[in-house]
Amino acid sequence: MFDEIIDFLCKHAYNNGPSPSEDSLYLLSPIGQEVMKHLRRQISALTISCRSIIVPGFVLILLSIAFYSSPSIAAEAKSENETKDEIGKVEQTAHFAAILKEGDTPNSVAELKALQRIIQQAAKKIIPCTVGVSVGPAQGSGVIVSEDGYIMTAGHVIGKSGLDVTITFPDGTKVKGKTLGIDRSVDTGLIKITKPGKYPFLKIDKSSELQEGQWVLVTGHPGGYEKGRKPVLRMGRVLASYDDVIATDCVLVGGDSGGPLLDLDGDVIGINSRIGSRVSANMFVPSDLYTSNWERLKDGDVWGRVPGTPAPYLGVECDLKKKAPVIIRVTPGSPAERVGIKPGDIITSFNRRAVNTFDDLKMLVNQHSPNDVVSVVVARGSDELKFEVTLKRRSR
Amino acid sequence: MIVSPRTSRFKLFVTRITSLAMVCSLTLLIAPPANAQKRGSSSISSKLTQLVNQRSNIRVLSAFIEVVDTPSKSTVEILRDNKRQAIGTIVDADGLILTKASQVNLVMLKGELAPLVCKLANNDRHEAKIVSINKEYDLALLKIDVKRLDPIRFTLQEDPMVGAVLASTALGDKPLGIGVMSAASRTIKQSRPMIGVQLKDIVDGARVESIVSGSAAKKAKLKIGDVIVKIDMKQIKDTQTLISTIKEYQPGDIIRLLVKRGEEQLELLCTLGEYSSGPNQARHEFQNHLGGKLSSRRSGFPMVFQHDTFLNPEDCGGPLVDLDGNAVGINIARAGRVASYAIPAKVLPELIAKLMLDAESSEVSTSSE
């Protein structure tokens, strides 16, 4: 109907076309016809009063559209090519390279257009790989990072290892998955789609190479997956980048957790994690924390402690004079005592990780949270014993 | 579950800094890396408040001067009592301006409302009259007595592509805000209106038993023990009538309550809020409000697209333009922390034409009276 009004206006406001027949009017929606009738009334009313300089507002607003559109239809096709060439040229310049790589500021419309083109290309790649993740009643987001369906998400979205997950693709199709490992201290989490197949996926890039000011993108499902709405794109810049957290002004809200933070190539450089009250306070887990712990996450290992929460304890004291962790005392009522760990035992492994010193042990225990179930292997004489221990919060 | 509602900004930064320290020490324990702390040591909180690298800093906005040059001449500020209520879009050279209805269409219990004033790009001020309203889209058409204005140029394209860079225009030479196209046009379902009271049936009406904090009732200064007798023209016999009456309104609507407080009868105006139920939704709502105020009417639009420009409620009603300076839509709601909605250009001509027709027919009926 838009086009038809414009067509009408082009022809009649400028008086260089034939009057529309009644038939052509019927092609319009009822409102369109009303507009036409109204326009005619207005135009004729004007002609009678001869105030042709003050064209009634009605005509002008639509005219402004027509005026803009009609002469420029042919010109537009031409200028589109020109603009593309121009953008191409801009993309070659050193300053534009600095915008992309170092987070420099675009300072012309041509540079903004070139940047826009790159954002749009990246968005096309990113959106099909962004998924909705639901674990029980919890809803978050995730991003597929391998053809066989590994999904990076936030640790707090999945909560535990080995849980069933429903993955929702942007078109609404659903597949099943399982939760794998989590590092709670930094909020990394991994999921695997269990249905074999070839899935669209994004590359992971190094978060350590991020520059402050760098232009970045975010997608996810704010408020949870919503039918009829694709993953929602946002743009921003890196405000701070550390080993364990990235902050950007790509705005996030509940439901976005687990969705990807991306560079302008559309590669994953972080995962949406948490927010502060300012719109500029949006925190992400750096991608390097996934790649450097990939095997552990893949194995379904759950470790780490949410900062600020109490540490668990095992309840053993070791002989500090010896290098190996030889137990000299087991605290009564402690997790260690409950499973039957005894003085004289030498701890050799804690949750599948080798323990050589008491310091190793302390560090590993510290990485866990109360109520985590861990495997502890001890050497007792010539025997090797394995215990499943539920770590507890130290009672004061 | 991005962050617990009680985590204040300050606390958040503190935990982040401590955790940073913790992880570094862990890293050192495991294997001393060559550069454990490779980048600057200034605290994260100071970086977040620094404007230098933010996407909307002055240098970035300056790149848009050419983009908004023409459309800013078709932009107005709508003031009441010298305070900005909304932005407006000139849609007609003879003084017709489109804006967000719920921002400008107020009612008062007593006395006269200060008039609406449009401030133009050349700083001229003109008194404005609301000539018609489209409730569905929350659009109002205003009329000022000025000729030869520059009406906005709408794009002929379909919706902008996701990732398109967009600017919201203001009166100055720089945009009010910038952002990207986040999600294609869709229908936003109407959320239920909420007044925020628990009621008990008594003989001659519904008595307020408790009031939800931060709710419409609280803001309207309704008190526990008040008996709601009437909503607008409707007599309230009991709780059920009250609930069904409220359901006929939309969030953002202003209702007139007749209330019995002790021996007194008084009138209160109440702007209805959006319904939220259960702790999950409440938490989401809480997060949605982090970072700025939201439009009181922000749901129930037949067709809007979503972009990520940071706007305030009083920034709505103005043009949203692409990098060619053509309007791709009109900002109609600040809907959440990550979402601003715009009515797409493709539906606007029809809406504007209808608003103009309505304005005319109401003029005819008043003049024939």
Distance from CA of A297 to the nearest CA of B (A): 18
If asked whether residues A133 and A165 sit together in one domain, one would say yes
**B185 → chain A, closest CA residue:** A229
Question: Looking at the domain assignment, is residue A81 inside a domain?
Answer: no
pLDDT in tens, B349-366: 999 999 999 998 876 655
Residues of B in contact with A247 (CB under 8 A): 44, 47-48
Q: Is the pLDDT of residue A327 over 70?
A: yes
Q: What is the model's pLDDT at position A237?
A: 96
Residue A164 a catalytic site member: no
Helix (H) or strand (E) holding A193: strand A188-193
List all residues 6 or more positions away from A172 whose beta carbon is below 8 Å from its beta carbon.
A227
**Measured between alpha carbons, how far is residue B122 from residues A141, A168, A235, B126, B161 in Å?**
47, 51, 33, 12, 33
Percent of residues, chain A, with pLDDT higher than 90: 62
Per the document, the length of chain B is 369
* Pairing, β B177-188 against β B327-334: unpaired
CA distance B276 to B91: 36
Average pLDDT of chain B is 83
Could you tell me the fold of the domain covering B193-274?
Pdz3 Domain (2.30.42)
* Residues of B in Cβ contact (< 8 Å) with A35: 353, 357
> Residue B45: which pLDDT band, with cuts at 50, 70 and 90?
low
Average pLDDT over residues B22-43: 33
* Contact predicate B214/B198, CB 8 Å: no
> Collapsing DSSP states into helix, strand and coil, what is residue B23?
helix
The pLDDT assigned to A89 comes to 84
A127 inside 8 A of chain B by CB: yes
> Which is more confident, A273 or B38?
A273
**ipTM entry:** 0.80
A257 given a catalytic annotation: yes
Look at residue B280 in the predicted model and tell me its pLDDT.
60
What would the mean pLDDT of A262-289 be, rounded to a whole number?
Answer: 93
Distance CA B298, CA B341 (A): 8
Cα(A34)–Cα(A316) distance, rounded to whole angstroms? 86
- State the pLDDT confidence band at B44, using cuts at 50, 70 and 90: low
Q: Are residues A273 and A336 in the same domain?
A: no
Q: How far apart are CA B28 and CA A130, in angstroms?
A: 35
> Pick the catalytic residue: A156, A161, A265, A319?
A156
Beta bridge partners of B154: B327
Closest CA to A320 of A331, A328, A330: A328
Q: List the single residue in B54, B183, B360 with the smallest CB-CB distance to A232.
A: B183
Contact B152/A64, CB-based, under 8 Å? yes
Q: Give me the CATH code for the B65-189+291-368 domain, please.
A: 2.40.10.120
Residue A96 sits in the same domain as residue A57? no
DSSP B53: T
Same domain, A101 and A181: yes
Residue reference for tokens 């129930």:
B300
A31 belongs to a structural domain: yes
Domain tally, chain A:
3
User: Do residues A288 and A342 share a domain?
Assistant: no
Query: What CATH number is associated with residue A99?
Result: 2.40.10.120
Position B146 confidence tier, pLDDT thresholds 50, 70, 90: very high
A157-165's contacts with Cβ under 8 Å and 24+ in sequence apart are: A157/A133, A157/A189, A157/A257, A157/A258, A157/B1, A158/A133, A158/A182, A158/A189, A158/A191, A159/A135, A160/A302, A161/A300, A161/A301, A161/A302, A162/A300, A163/A135, A163/A136, A164/A135, A165/A133, A165/A134, A165/A135, A165/A191
A75 belongs to a structural domain:
no
- Asked, for residue A24, whether it belongs to a domain, the answer is yes
Catalytic residue, chosen from A257, A287, A334, A369, is A257
- Length, in residues, of chain A: 396
Mean pLDDT comparison of A33-37, A388-392, B29-33, highest-scoring range: A388-392
Mean pLDDT, residues B9-34: 32
Residue of B nearest to A241 (CA): B39
Confidence band, pLDDT 50/70/90 cuts, at residue A51: very low
| Model pLDDT, residue A79 | 54
Q: How many CB pairs under 8 A join A and B?
A: 272
Domain boundary among A275, A304, A333: A304
Give pLDDT tens digits for B84-137.
Answer: 999 999 999 999 999 999 999 877 766 778 899 999 999 999 999 999 999 999
Angstrom distances, CA of residue B213 to CA of A57, B24, B199, B208, B219: 47, 43, 15, 14, 9
Residues A219 and A118 in one domain: yes
Tell me the domain boundaries of chain B: 11-50, 65-189+291-368, 193-274
Q: Judge: B48–A239 Cβ closer than 8 Å, yes or no.
A: yes
Compute the distance between CA of residue A165 and CA of residue A158 in angstroms, rounded to an integer.
8
- Write out the two tokens for B267: 């009138």
User: What is the span of the domain harbouring residue A331?
Assistant: 312-393
The per-residue pLDDT for B49 is 60
Residue in chain A closest to B167 (alpha carbons) equals A112
Give me A153's structure tokens. 């998400």
What is the token pair recorded at B49? Answer: 């408040």
- Write out pLDDT tens, residues A201-248: 999 999 999 999 999 999 999 988 999 999 999 999 999 999 999 999
pLDDT in tens, A140-189: 999 999 999 999 999 999 989 999 999 999 999 999 999 999 999 999 99
Residues A119 and A56 in one domain: no
Paired strand residues for A133: A140, A167
Residue after which a domain boundary falls, among A304, A324, A355: A304
Residues on chain A touching B336 (C-beta within 8 angstroms): 222-223, 253
**Which tens digit of pLDDT belongs to each residue from A239-267?**
999 999 999 999 999 899 999 999 999 99
Q: Is the pLDDT of residue B290 over 90?
A: no
**Structure confidence at residue A65 (pLDDT):** 28
Within a domain: residue A245? yes
Residues of A in contact with B183 (CB under 8 A): 229-230, 232-233
Longest Cα–Cα distance in chain A: 114
User: What is the rounded average pLDDT for all residues in chain A?
Assistant: 81
Euclidean distance between CA atoms A226 and B102, whole angstroms: 26
Q: Which of A284, A304, A324 is the last residue of a domain?
A: A304
CA–CA distance from A173 to each of A164, A170, A176, B186 (Å)? 17, 7, 11, 19
Does one domain contain both A91 and A65? no
Q: Are B335 and B295 in contact (CB under 8 A)?
A: yes
Query: Which CA distances in Å does A53 have to B94, B144, B178, B214?
Result: 12, 19, 38, 54
Q: Are residues A170 and A122 in the same domain?
A: yes
Q: How far apart are CA B321 and CA B329, in angstroms?
A: 7
- What does the pLDDT read at residue B216? 84
User: In A, which residues are within 8 Å of B161 by CB distance?
Assistant: 120, 123
What are the tens digits of pLDDT across the range B263-272?
999 999 988 8
Q: Is the pLDDT at A25 greater than 60, yes or no?
A: no
Give yes or no for residue A22 having a pLDDT over 90.
no
Per-residue model confidence (pLDDT) at position A396: 60
> With bands split at pLDDT 50, 70 and 90, how would you rate the model's confidence at A13?
very low
Same domain assignment for residues A288 and A339: no
Q: Quick one: A58 and A134 in the same domain?
A: no
Q: Are residues A339 and A230 in the same domain?
A: no
**Nearest by Cα to B39 from A292, A99, A209, A263:** A209
Q: Tell me how far apart the alpha carbons of residues B149 and B126 are, in angstroms, rounded to a whole number.
A: 13
| Dist CA B353 CA A58 (whole Å) | 8
With respect to residue A219, please indicate whether it lies within any of the assigned structural domains.
Answer: yes
Of the candidates A289, A279, A203, which has an alpha carbon nearest to the alpha carbon of residue A246?
A289
Whether A242 is covered by a domain: the verdict is yes
Model pLDDT, residue A27: 28
